[in-house]
Structure 1
């Protein structure tokens, strides 16, 4: 399932799916950047899926590089595992948010880049 990523503004992205043209997902990482005073690092989250599907189809891992202000999406089957040296689990109570995500993994002082179907956090 192909996902299209459109950058709306700093820390905000709109995702749409080829297979679900009526669906879209608005992501806003600014609450985490503000709450935790982030200037760098990579935020990882298990992405929400299109509401019209009841299966895991469409879900994938999402990576937001804070310093570069870029977002990557990787299909779960293409990223079966990864090794982590150091990370932090961050969450903001859902009742304090009007956006998603609400819980993420932060890789401090790291950066993300994509090569073909692989996303690297270094």
Structure 2
């Protein structure tokens, strides 16, 4: 089953395509989805088909990267790319490369319990 979600993620509708949707894996390991959808088959979801929208097919999400509207039969031809590459470039705030700084350590807690600070720092270095 296919479904389409708008860019904001607020509306989701079922999507019916003409023929079979085609999923291909390119040489550079990019999964791409290609399909044609008509307004006659999709009265509710046809307006949701726009660039940067999401299509879900067999549990995988694709982002629409190219779309052409054909005049014959009011059909939209869609080329979408798997969202893996969207997730690669997403920035994560507060990530420090997996290393801890002195500001992140609960040194005061350990110092109050009588554990020497030098022992804590030596255990971290190991």
Relative contact order (C-alpha < 8 Å, sep 6+): which is higher? 1
Q: Could you say which structure has the larger radius of gyration?
A: 2
TM-score interval w.r.t. the shorter chain? Answer: under 0.3
* TM, length-normalised to structure 2: 0.26
